[in-house]
A and B are shown apart, each in its own frame.
Chain A
Amino acid sequence: MPTLRERLVEVLRRQFPAAQFDAAATGLALGSFPQWDSLGHFNFLMAVEEEFDTRFSLEEISELKSLDDIETALGPRG
């Protein structure tokens, strides 16, 4: 079974199919590549919600900026 991180990376690839990035890199976050701008980030968060059947609050939307942040937020909902 894929790990939470692997699933997140998969959603990231789907949201940015043309983007080049190293999935193993630490610190993947908003701004890591050109397509991952603030609009791309919002679309990505919506895709994460769909993948994990969850919903982020408006507050979380403004706080979750990196894959680590999202992973941490999703962890307890697991």
Chain B
Amino acid sequence: MTILAGTSFLLPGHAAWRRLGDEAAVEFADYGAWAAALATAPAERPVVLVLFLADLLGGAGEGEDALAPLLAALDRRLSQASAPTLVGFAVGEDGSALAGLRRPTVQDRAARLLADALYQRATKAAGLLVLPLDPLFGRIGTDRAYDMRNYYAARCRLSAAGLGLAAEAVAASLARAKTPPRKVLALDCDGTLWGGIVGEVGPGGILLGTDGMGQAFHDFQKAAKALAAQGVLLALLSKNNEAEVWEVFDTHPGMALQRSDIVAWRIDWAEKADNLVALAADLDLGLDAVVFWDDNPLERAKVQSLLPQVLTVEPPKDVTDWPRALARLDALARSEITDEDRAKTGQYQARAAFIGDKAKAAAEADFLSAIGMRATALALGAASLPRAAQLVAKTNQFNLRNLRLDAAALADFSKDERSVAFLVRLADRYGDHGLIGLALAHVTDMPGLAFLDNFVMSCRVLGRHVEAWALAQLVAGLRTRGGQLLVAEFVDSGRNTVAASFLPDHGFVAEDAWPSAWRALAAHLPPPPSDSVGPGTTRYALALDQAVIPFQEFFADADIA
């Protein structure tokens, strides 16, 4: 149960506070008893303090003196609390604008001191959340947000509208303490990033630039770019010819967004709901991490009904209001950027740069030879097991058998002398991609017979043939352990289509074309674990001593570490 305290009265029971849940969800401190509430609130209960500087200034002096008791009480609470402490603050009164012409007013100065003091504490106390309320009140006008009649009638400084804004922001802030912000902004193109339909009017005919409506679209792009700088991943989701969209990106002077800002895209004529599912899979994120912005009400309605987990934004009617609406979107707002966020954005941006460069290159082979790929195989060991387990658990696309082994099972597997188990690390001129693949195979009890247990590759490096490099290492490892025939399976999980042709593309022979000797040998395989067998399991085999795995010429330093 949240404890809510204010320096002036907050009108417990007012309908505005129902945003925080039913009456049982909130306990209001007595009027004026905010200091006592901070001092006595149990450590495990969230506390919300709504304070108005007007209540603190005056009697106790100015600035530091007026804030000292508050900050002392707050420090005591922060040193003990395990639950969040949310401090919403507002000034609560103002004077003539001319009073600030030459020096800050008492209120301005106190507000700045308070904000500094709170944010300084927030860097040390993870449980402290700071919510400046005056910018929110400013949206409807402070004269409407405050109501002195309520103050003289009930010691409440706010109007019903002001209470509503405060309650909504408090509810959203407390929810944020439990639910992280969404990570992806999926943007439509025609009518969203620019006015008009590029397929009809060409890049020269679209509305985008430095005047009027064109500038509104430009500023909307700038708002998206600002979110990207905060760690939001930008994606395109457009029914268009892909080349025409990129032509706008590459040639239109009014574009604020660049190709390199976009980490994933689906530009084709498929249904957007399907494309959103694929896009989220590309990014290894759930649909509940996605925000979708599209000017077309029909597209919005379809996505809303098919994918309720996605936040489909209802944009303002007037495009001139879009830049502000996007910037104000709570679902994407982040007050801190984690290392993971930063790394992820960088990785996907590198991927986008790679895909863009590859598309522009005249010959794929020349391009891949020139990007300096260095692959390394890292034998599974104590230090690498957590990453191996994570890859197995999180990779849905390039996951050959969908066999989900945990760290303990992987450890057992790697200890067997007849097994070949390694992680793949890749670096190239687009950066160090880290440990991006896992190969698991073993030589069976039947002499010469080997089995590919699983093969997993992060989708962020696909398109480089690093899977071929890993397969070649696997083949070499199995051969030194006496393997002659490698049997492998593709288990269709419904999400791993990208891996469907991996085996036949690299020399594996489908079961229906096996010679009889292979059949006889493969018959000795124990039945596979039941959790790996789906309706769409296809078996293949590769003769190890004759195997020539393609694409090895793109890689330098092919060694098993």
Contact = CB atoms under 8 A, between A and B. Distances in A.
B12 interface: yes
A42 B152 contact: no
Contact of A61 (B11, B12, B149, B160): B149
A58 B154 contact: no
Nearest to A39: B13
B153 interface: yes
Given A49-B160, A50-B160, A61 B14 contact: no
Q: In this complex, which of A35, A42, A57 has the most chain B Cβ atoms within 10 angstroms of its Cβ?
A: A42
B15 interface: yes
Interface string B524-554: 0000000000000000000000000000000
A58 B152 contact: yes
Contacts, number: 32
Given A46-B160, A49-B160, A50-B160, A62 B13 contact: no
Interface in B119-164: 149-150, 152-154, 160
Contacts of B152: 58
Interface residues of B, number: 11
B149 A43 contact: no
Contacts of A67: none
Given A49-B160, A50-B160, A15 B154 contact: no
A61 B150 CA distance: 10
B11 to A, nearest CB: 6
Interface string B1-36: 000000000011111000000000000000000000
Nearest to B152: A58
A43 B153 contact: no
Contacts of A40: 13
Q: In this complex, which of A15, A46, A55, A61 has the most chain B Cβ atoms within 10 angstroms of its Cβ?
A: A46
B13 A58 contact: no
- The 5 closest A-B CB pairs, nearest first, are A43-B14, A61-B153, A42-B154, A43-B13, A46-B160
Given A43-B11, A46-B160, 7 more contacts: A39-B13, A39-B154, A42-B11, A43-B14, A46-B14, A46-B150, A49-B160
15 contacts: A14-B15, A15-B13, A15-B15, A39-B13, A42-B11, A42-B153, A43-B11, A43-B15, A46-B14, A46-B150, A49-B160, A50-B160, A55-B149, A57-B149, A62-B153
